[in-house]
Each structure stands twice: as C-alpha cells, then as structure tokens.
Amino acid sequence: MTTQPVKSRLPGLLLLAAVLVLLALMPLMVNNYWLRIATGALMWAGLACSWNILGGYAGYINFGHSAFFGLGAYVTAFLMNDPFGLPFLVTVPAGMLVTAVFAVIIGAPTLRLRGAYFAIATWAFAEVLIQFASAMDFTGGIGGIGLPPYLNERFFYFAMLGAAALTYLLTWLLFERSRFGLKVKALRDHEPAAEAMGINTALVKLQTFVLSAVTASVFGAIFAYWVTFINPKSVFGGDITDQMVVMVLLGGLGSLWGPAIGGVALFVVNRLMWMYWGDTAFYIALLGAAIVLVVLFLPNGIAGLFSGRRSNALEKAAGKLVGRVDEGERP
Amino acid sequence: MDLFLQTLLNGLLIGGVIATFTIAFQLTFGVLHVIDFAVGGWVVLGGYLGYYMAAGLGVDGFLAIPAAFFLFGAIGYLIGPILYNVRNSRTARPELMALALTFGLFTLLRGGMLTAWGFNTRNVPTALSGESLALGPVTVPMIRVAAAVFAIVIAGGLFLFLYRTRYGLAIRATAENRQNAALMGVNIRRLSANVYGLYAGITAMAGVLMGAVYSVNPEIGLRYTLFAFFVAVLAGLGSVGGALVAALLLGVIEAYVSTYVGSSYSLLAIFATLFLVLLISPKGILRRGL
Amino acid sequence: MTANRNGYTRRETLGLGAAALAAGTLGMPFVRTARAQAATFKAGVITSLSGENILGGNLTKQGYDLWADAVNAKGGVEVAGEQFKVEMFYGDDQSNPATGADAAERLIVQNEVDVLFGPYTSGSTIAVQPICQKYQVPMISGSAESPNVWKAKPEFNFGIIPAVDTTSGLSIGVLAKQSNPAAKTVAVIGVNEPFSKETGEGFRDGVAAAGLELAAYELVPPDGDLTPVISKIAALNPDVVAVGGHEEILINVVKTSKSLNFRPKALIMHYGITNPAFAQALGADADGTTGVVVWLPTVAYKDDVFGTAKEFSDMAAKKLGGEPDYTAAGCAASGLVLGDALKRLGKKPALTPEDRVALKDAIAETDIQTFYGPIKFEKDGPHYHDNVQPVPVLVQIQSGKVVAVGPKEAAAADYIYPLPAWK
C-alpha cells in the first residue's frame, strides 16, 4: 500500500496537463456554439465544486446555494447599470464582498443546525431572496435587469475557465493539502470528537461556508454578464441548487474531481439530449432516467469508476462510520 | 372584523390543504430516513388521475380518491425496495444518494407527464367544487373543508394505526431504532416498501384534492415539494402531529400577511418565519419525532 | 489492495475507456453535416416546451408550424420565380433566459438557420436579442407581448403582437363603455411574474385613463394561495375585477371566487382564457369571463397563404383540435412577414450574412395585409419594431364560446353585464 502512491500519480498529472492544454486551446478547435456549451460546462463544474466545498468536505448540505450565485449576479448587474456604470472587473470583487458579508450573517446562526434542518434552512434563505428580489423595485422586481451586452464569447470562456481553475486549485490546496482540510474533514466525520480535539468547529465551519459562498458568487457575476439578462428565478431559483447537488452526487461527493466530472457530464448530456430530442419535452424524462440509472449502478458517483479499490475501501469505512453517527444522532 | 374572521378561516383552510400532502411525507422520513423530492410528482399524478376519471368516465372526482390510493400505492410499493436499497447501501452518504434518486424520479415523472399529457392546465370537478356555506359573516368554501377533513382523518387514522396496532408498533420501533427493530424480528425491507406504498397512495389521494381545490399541470409539482419540505422541517422531521400544526401556522401567516400587509409579501413572510423558527428551535416547533 | 503492474487498477482502466468513449461520442457533433441537396430556407424556433411557460410556449410553436406546413403545402416560399421549402429547427428554452440564449446560438451556428422565430417569454427574448445582433440574424417574435422587449430598441427583432401595455389598458375603457349601468370601481390583481405583472400594471393605468376608481391593486406571488386576496377584494365589492396572469392562475381565480361565493359584475382576465382548455377546465363557470384579444377567427381579414381568418381557424382547428387563439395566429402571421420579406429581397437560400442584414431591412419595411390584420412595424419610440396596428377586442365566454363584445363596431353579441350569480 505504501509503495503505490508516488508511482501512480504520474499518469494523473499527465492527464491533468493534457486536459488543461485541451481547455486552453478549445476556442481554436470548436465553433461558437460548442464554445458556449463549454463555457456553460465550466460554470457548472465550478459551481459543483463550490457546493462540494461545504457539502462534500464539511458534510453540510446546502440547499440554498443559488442564493450566493444570485447575489454575485445581482451585484454585478446592479453596479454595471446606471447610475454606477462600473466596469465588470470591479463588480466581481464587490459581489464577492457582499456575498461574504451575507454568508457570515446567515452562516453563523444556521451552521448550528444539522442535516436536513440545515439543508431546509438554507433553502428557505434562498427562497426569501427570490421573494425579496421579486417584491422590491431597486432589484428590477420580477422583470429582472439587463446588462450591457458584451459579445465576446472567448472572454466569457476564459473567464469561466479561470474562475473554475482557481476554484479547483483553491479547493485542492485548502482541502487536500493543508491542516485546514484535515480539520474540516474531521468535523464532517465526527463533530463532537473534532471539538474535543480542540478544533474550533464553529469557526472552521463558518470559514468553509464563506469560501463556498464566495466562489459561487464569482460564477454568478460572470453568468449575469454573459447571458446579459437576469431575473430572480433565473439566478436564485431552486433548480440551480438542485442541479449543483445532483452533479456532485453523480460525480462523486467529497472528492476533488467528482464535481468536475458530474458537472460536465450532466450539463453536456442535458444539452446533447436537448439538441437531438429537444423538439418535445421527452428529453426531460430521459434525463430523469439517466439520473436514476447512475444512482442505481454507480452508487459512488462517476468518479468512483476512476478511483482505485484502495480509496473505495476508505470510503466504505467512512460510510460505516457516518452511518453509525447518523443512527446515534437521533435523540 | 368580518374580514378578520374570514382571513382566519382562509388561513386555517390553507393550512388544512397543505397538511394533506405533508402528513404521509413525514411518515416516510420517519421510517425510511429519505427526504423524498418526488412528493410533488405523486401529488400531480393523483390530480391527473382525478382529471382523467372525471373527464373520461364522467364520474365525480371524489371517486378517484380511492382509485389513486390503490394505483399509486401499488406503484410506490414497487419503488419502495429500490429506495430502501439505495438508502442502506454502503456508500459515503446514502441519504444523499437516495435524495438524488428521488430527484431523478421526479424529473422522469415530470418529463413523462409533459410528453404524455401535454401542457394544458386541468381541473378535477367534484360535487363540492365551487360550493360554499354562509356562516354568519364568513363564507366557507366547501371543497377546502373537504381537504381539511381529509387531512384530519388521515392524521387520525395514521395515529390509530401507529399506536393501536402491532404493525404500527413495528413501524414506530423501526423509526426509533432500525437495528433493534430488526433484532426483534421486523422485516425492515418489507416494512419500508409498505410504508413507501402507503405514503405514495396517501399523497396521490391528496393530489386528487389539490386538483379539485386548485388545478393541475405537469410543471406544478415542484411547488408541492417545496411546501412539503418546509412544513415537514417546521414541524420537526418525522413528526406526523407536528405537520398539522405547522401547516396551520403557515396557512394563517400567509392569509394575514396577504390580507393586511400585501399579497406580494405573503411568501416572503412564510419563508422568513421558517428560517427564524429553525434558528430559534433547531428541531422544529414540536421538537420530537414520530 | 494491490494495483496492476503498470499502476492502474482494473477500475481505472474501465474508467479511462468510458471517458474515451464519451469523448468520441461528444466529438461527433463537431463534424459539420453538408447541406441537403434541395435548397431550403431554414428557420429556427426558440420556445418554452418545458418549465412554467409551457402553455404559451406550445401555442407559439404550433403557430409557427402552421405557417411552415401551409407554405410548404403550396410548394414553398416563392423567390425570383422559384419555390423553396421551409425547414424548421427547434430549441426548448426551458422557460429560462440562459437556455434561450444557448438555443439561439445553437440554431444559428449549428443548424445555420437564416432567420429565427422568437420565444414566448420576454426574459428569453431579451437574452436572445444580443445573439441575433452578434450574428446579424433577424428574428420575428410572434408572441412576445412584454413592453420591456422593445425598450432596448432591438435592431434585429420584430414583434407581431402589440405590447400588452397598449392593449390591456385600453380594454378597461372599452369595458366601461360597454357596461350598463356603467362600471365605476375596479380591483386589479397582477401575478408577480414577468408579463403578468406588466399586464396588471396595464389594467391599473387603464383604470385611471378611463376615469374609473381603483379599488385595489394587488400583486400576488405565483405560488401563493388566492383565498386571502379574493376575500379582501370581495370585502371592497368592486364592480370589475381585472386579473393579469397565466392560465393556471386564471383558472384558480375563478374557482376560488366561486368557492367564496364572490361574483363581481365583470371579471376580465389576460392571458389565456381564449385557449379552449380554459373553458374545458371550468365548464359552465367559465361563462361570463371577459378577455382581451388582438385577433379573433371572426375578423374580416385575409391573405393568399391562409385565406380568410375563418379558413385559417378551421385549418388550425383540424390540426390542433381546437380553435386557435391570437398567439397561434400571431405566430403564423410571423411566417407571412418572413415570406413577404424574402420575396421582396429576392435572394435564394442559403442566405449570406449580407443577405440576412438585407432581410432585416426588408422586414423593417413590411406593410402587408394578412388574415391576422395589417402588419407594419414601429420605426421609433418605446415600441420600436413592434407591430402596434391591431386594436384590442373585448371578448366574453358565452355558453362556452368566445365571442366579441366590444368595442361596438366589432361586437358580435351583447355584453353580459352585470354577471348573474354563481349557479
């Protein structure tokens, strides 16, 4: 077991390098439509990773993650329009800041909740934002806000690529290669034990929550500028979170590459079905069937196919442990 | 004052209507520990059965209620074991994979219904549709009363079943501790299938009533899923009695905010209440399970 | 626990194989298919086949298809003495602006369409407009009714149906004139969703313009329950209740009003009551409901593709199983605009980028008579590129049929006012 890791990392690194080169050259290889699909796929891969930061590594299931995606989108839309008329690159950090403030205010009390209660509380928060954005005038209400169109598909492709790459790099550094990651995983696997080990779980959870929220807001900002029009449902909508969750679960929960695989696979399969059978709504049924089949036959997600038996055994052990904790959780 | 009383009645009846599809949802969570995303799908299926029976056979929509129970109960009984297997598989987070499964099922149902039954909004006509009763200063919409009575009967029936029968005891034991129940000789797998069937049947029955109170089309399922989730959490997941209380609370809040503050704030108020209640009382208002 | 000699486990090998297979499959669509032998005009339809706007989305698609079928049955669009068939491509926008933009890019880049037929929802339309601009592809929107679409002065988009702020407001005045004794107070309900809210605002502004009294203006969330708002309005007892919403809410408004035994003297709703499913769902309770339309099968217009409005309606009824409403008619008329512009342009398919810009200019100069009525696009102002020619007609459901009841010169039957009590 100990002799293996060094040797087997090389093919992985080569694969990663090949993928990066491929991604960098993508605009030269495909037409604008496929570049658009690639831009969307990168966004979803990034969003899935952003959700996985809290859901996979810390074990807190956020059903309202679209709230932060939407906050990023709305701040950008708001600041780029009159009377501010700020350039896009200024609005992104502004959106990250606003999102971070929201995340601290919302996260501090909600992170005391566990399991489904946390999930639904965050969902309720996202619904509050939908209703708020719909009822208020300064958000453009239900009619939404348009943004000044910028028709440069390569800019958006590289913006999404950069944001996604940074999100993954950050996740890798923080959660796979640092003490912080160990703390987060420890509290996921057994919160009271982690607390007893001297980990300030409340702080660690909050930091993870804010990180997860802020990364989502960046994608929201790029999305708004890219699509040129947003309304409350199109950026805060529950279906956005649902997609992220399903992408992570299909790809592989709590692994670095699972969300990337799940995000790209689900988005691209959706778009392919939509292209070839999209004359009727039947493709939606096919999409549902595909999700059911993956759950039934790839219970560890698509990433489970790629990981060796070694990590499988670890996951199984972790599964047993988590299962026991869940049983013991009920009063 | 008249409007105040009417609003109270409206709120209580909204609560009764919401309770119809939340009670059985609680039972599934209590026993299977699965949050079923497909709850809205079962509601819509029930509504369509009511529509097709009324439009095709010319019978009263109420007759579709027992039919919905047997038809969708049987389908739920077949799906139950699959869900049970996923929920109890040895993966890292089986409860989430089960959620993903029900999400896939919900998407499958939605796409299938859009393809098969089209896009038109349908109605389930019943003997009580549109009937009203003038009770002093207030007007009582009878179809909603029927839905509220249904919710109370189902809740009461479930209560008797759970606390007065041996099988109910087995269900409660399973909800409390699966391992111990299994050691006592309960066939957890079959029991889970039965509970999921019971839940699907009851929820589809509620769907017939939803079609009669409101109307039905393939895209409205998500609304019911949303409300079922919220009421269940407000009640305390798994608490059948709490579902009634929580539904009534939300209904009354929606009615008063809508009448006296402004309709556009009604859902804002509901979701904000839910969020605040969870922060104050993290296990729901009744703080207990099944 | 041991890996193979080369460092891969069997699972990894399997996984890589699957990835390669997936990459191969995904690669396929990159290969461009050669154009078919017989030249055709290619038109892309973006519309909502799923999501919350399925009714309007499907009616829109049906309307565009009616034109394609009719013109192809005649041999195609005539250009410089030759006939070319029309080929339709579809993209579901899932009632979502971002997906609408994806669909536009796909239809233009992948399917190489010459022209687009626009979405049903205003959100999608607004998101698609910049893409039309980018590729210089004209778009004809047969169903977009939101005034927001035209405020951005879209160079490449053209609307067949007048924006709802010009129609719903006027209809209140017409209603007041037709009512006897004259209606005085109006309560307006707007569903808080795109289009419905603007319809509600149109009604609200129309109340003031007609010199009536606004008893209440309520915005309701689309997922909320209607009993509280109906009870509140019932307590104010206005003569008229006006509702801006979509078909599901409209059905629920009637059901809720009846179950609370509240019957205003007039109930006017927009949009969806002329769809046969509305009267089907409500049966006798639909009777008396007033609506606003910009076209009816009984209007006295005609053209040489569809014939008279009545003939169009009969053909549509045969295909769709029910009388078409004005959305389907507006979308079918979009095709007539395209056919006329192509004829004047005189360019054969496939159109070059320059041809498409010229086609846009040709569409802008449209001035034709159709079964739907006269079509001519605004050249300036808040309704830039919208066809505001049609005048709103007040209709009422009488014994399950939609009949015109106002204004006086268009009325085919007397306006039933005040409405009788619920049966």
Mean pLDDT of chain C: 88
Q: Judge if C154 and C181 occupy the same domain.
A: no
Q: Is the pLDDT of residue C92 over 80?
A: yes
Residue in C closest to A312 by C-alpha? C1
For CA atoms C191, C192, C193, C199, the dihedral sign is positive
Mean pLDDT of chain B: 91
Could you give the count of Cα atoms lying within 13 Å of A301 in the half-sphere of its Cβ? 33
User: C221 and B264: CB-CB below 8 Å?
Assistant: yes
Asked if the C-beta of C93 comes within 8 angstroms of chain B's C-beta atoms, the answer is no
pLDDT tens per residue, range B13-33: 999 999 999 999 998 988 888
Partner-chain residue, chosen from A8, A272, A275, that has the shortest CB–CB distance to C7: A8
CA distance B111 to chain A (A): 4
Mutate to test the interface with C, among B115, B120, B124 (most CBs of C within 10 A): B120
CA distance A321 to chain B (A): 9
Q: Mean per-residue pLDDT for B255-276? A: 90
How would DSSP label each residue in C22-49? HHHHHHGGGSPPPPPSS-EEEEEEEE-S
Mean pLDDT of chain A: 87
CA distance B31 to chain C (A): 30
List the beta bridge partners of residue C115: C43
Within the 112-151 window of chain A, which residues sit less than 8 Å (CB to CB) from chain C? Answer: 131, 134-135, 141-144, 146, 149, 151
Polymer length in residues for chain B = 290
Helix locations, A172-302, DSSP H: 179-189, 191-196, 201-227, 232-236, 238-251, 258-277, 282-297
User: A113 and B111: CB-CB below 8 Å?
Assistant: no
Q: Judge if C282 and C310 occupy the same domain.
A: no
What's the CA gap between B267 and A66, in Å, rounded?
Answer: 18
Q: Which residues contact A167 (CB under 8 A, 6 or more apart)?
A: A46, A49, A50, A215, A218
Q: CA angle, B142 as apex, B141 and B146 as ends, to 5°?
A: 125
Q: Judge if C157 and C304 occupy the same domain.
A: yes
Mutate to test the interface with B, among A62, A295, A305, A329 (most CBs of B within 10 A): A295
pLDDT of residue A314: 52
Inter-chain CB pairs, A–B, below 8 Å: 160
Domain with C155 in it? 40-162+298-376
More confident residue, B191 or A308: B191
| C104 part of a folded domain | yes
pLDDT tens per residue, range C6-60: 444 444 444 444 444 444 444 444 434 444 457 899 999 999 988 878 888 999 9
pLDDT of residue C34: 43
List the beta bridge partners of residue A146: A229
Asked if the C-beta of C262 comes within 8 angstroms of chain B's C-beta atoms, the answer is yes
Q: Judge if C214 and C314 occupy the same domain.
A: no
Per-10-residue mean pLDDT for chain A, 331 residues long? 55 90 93 94 97 93 94 96 92 97 93 84 90 87 89 94 96 94 91 91 95 97 95 90 88 90 92 84 86 86 68 53 44 29
pLDDT of residue C2: 36
Q: CA angle, A68 as apex, A302 and C225 as ends, to 5°?
A: 100
How would DSSP label each residue in C333-394? HHHHHHHHHHHHHT-PSSPPHHHHHHHHHHHHT-EEEETTEEEE---SSTTTTB---SPPEE
Q: Mean per-residue pLDDT for C294-304? A: 90
Q: Say if residues A326 and B95 touch (Cβ distance below 8 Å).
A: yes
Q: Judge if C211 and C149 occupy the same domain.
A: no
pLDDT tens per residue, range C270-280: 888 888 889 98
pLDDT tens per residue, range B102-120: 989 999 999 999 989 988 8
pLDDT of residue A317: 55
Assign C180 a pLDDT band (cuts: 50, 70, 90): confident
pLDDT of residue A308: 53
Q: Say if residues A175 and A53 touch (Cβ distance below 8 Å).
A: yes
| C7 part of a folded domain | no
Assign B286 a pLDDT band (cuts: 50, 70, 90): low
What's the CA gap between C139 and C125, in Å, rounded?
Answer: 10
pLDDT of residue B284: 73
Residues in chain C within 8 Å Cβ distance of A278:
49, 90-92
| C421 part of a folded domain | no
Within the 116-175 window of chain B, which residues sit less than 8 Å (CB to CB) from chain A? Answer: none
Given the structure tokens 């695989």, which residue do they identify?
A: A261
Task: For chain B, give every domain's residue range.
Answer: 21-217
Within the 150-209 window of chain C, which residues sit less than 8 Å (CB to CB) from chain B? Answer: 192
Q: What is the CATH number of the domain that holds C229?
A: 3.40.50.2300
Asked if the C-beta of B180 comes within 8 angstroms of chain A's C-beta atoms, the answer is no
Q: Is the pLDDT of residue C376 over 50?
A: yes
For CA atoms C143, C144, C147, C150, the dihedral sign is negative
Q: What single-letter amino acid sits at B245?
A: V
Assign C340 a pLDDT band (cuts: 50, 70, 90): very high
pLDDT tens per residue, range B54-80: 999 999 999 999 999 999 999 999 999
Q: Judge if C104 and C229 occupy the same domain.
A: no
**Structural domain count of chain C:** 2
ipTM: 0.90
CA distance B133 to chain A (A): 34
pLDDT of residue A7: 53
pLDDT of residue C13: 41
Q: Judge if C343 and C226 occupy the same domain.
A: no
CA distance B201 to chain C (A): 24
DSSP B95: H
User: B115 and A291: CB-CB below 8 Å?
Assistant: no
CA distance B79 to chain C (A): 26
Q: Is the pLDDT of residue C322 over 90?
A: no
What's the CA gap between C35 and B87, in Å, rounded?
Answer: 51
pLDDT of residue B233: 84
pLDDT of residue C404: 93
pLDDT tens per residue, range C101-155: 999 999 999 999 999 999 998 889 999 999 999 999 999 999 888 888 998 899 9
pLDDT of residue B201: 97
Q: From A186, A151, A192, select the one nearest A318 (Cα to Cα).
A: A186
pLDDT of residue B287: 57
Assign C88 a pLDDT band (cuts: 50, 70, 90): very high
Residues in chain C within 8 Å Cβ distance of A132:
none
User: B111 and A287: CB-CB below 8 Å?
Assistant: yes
Q: Mean per-residue pLDDT for B157-177? A: 91
Inter-chain CB pairs, B–C, below 8 Å: 130
pLDDT tens per residue, range C220-234: 998 889 999 999 999
Asked if the C-beta of A330 comes within 8 angstroms of chain B's C-beta atoms, the answer is yes
Residue in C closest to A302 by C-alpha? C15
Inter-chain CB pairs, A–C, below 8 Å: 123
pTM of the model: 0.86
Q: Judge if C274 and C134 occupy the same domain.
A: no
pLDDT of residue A50: 97
Look at strands C240-244 and C82-92 and give their pairing.
unpaired
Asked if the C-beta of C21 comes within 8 angstroms of chain A's C-beta atoms, the answer is no
Q: Is the pLDDT of residue C1 over 90?
A: no
| C384 part of a folded domain | no
User: Which secondary structure element, helix H or strand E, spans residue C324, and what is its range?
Assistant: none
Partner-chain residue, chosen from C91, C123, C134, that has the shortest CB–CB distance to A144: C123
Q: Judge if C326 and C221 occupy the same domain.
A: no
Partner-chain residue, chosen from C50, C228, C251, that has the shortest CB–CB distance to B215: C251
Chains that touch A (3 or more CB pairs under 8 A): B, C
| C106 part of a folded domain | yes
Q: Mean per-residue pLDDT for C408-412? A: 87
User: B92 and A318: CB-CB below 8 Å?
Assistant: yes
CA distance A145 to chain B (A): 19
pLDDT of residue B149: 96
Partner-chain residue, chosen from A282, A299, A315, that has the shortest CB–CB distance to B97: A299
pLDDT of residue A318: 54
User: B107 and A291: CB-CB below 8 Å?
Assistant: yes
Residues in chain A within 8 Å Cβ distance of C109:
31-33
> Within 10 Å of residue C412's Cβ, how many Cβ atoms?
12
Q: What percent of chain C has pLDDT over 90?
A: 67
CA distance B138 to chain A (A): 30
User: C49 and A278: CB-CB below 8 Å?
Assistant: yes
Look at strands C139-141 and C115-117 and give their pairing.
parallel
Q: Which residues contact A92 (CB under 8 A, 6 or more apart)?
A: A72, A76, A218, A221, A222
| C223 part of a folded domain | yes
Residues in chain C within 8 Å Cβ distance of A4:
2-3, 7
For residues C249-271, one letter each, b for 16 or more C-beta atoms within 10 angstroms of the residue's C-beta and e for the rest, the string is bbbbbbbbbbbbbbbbbbbbbbb
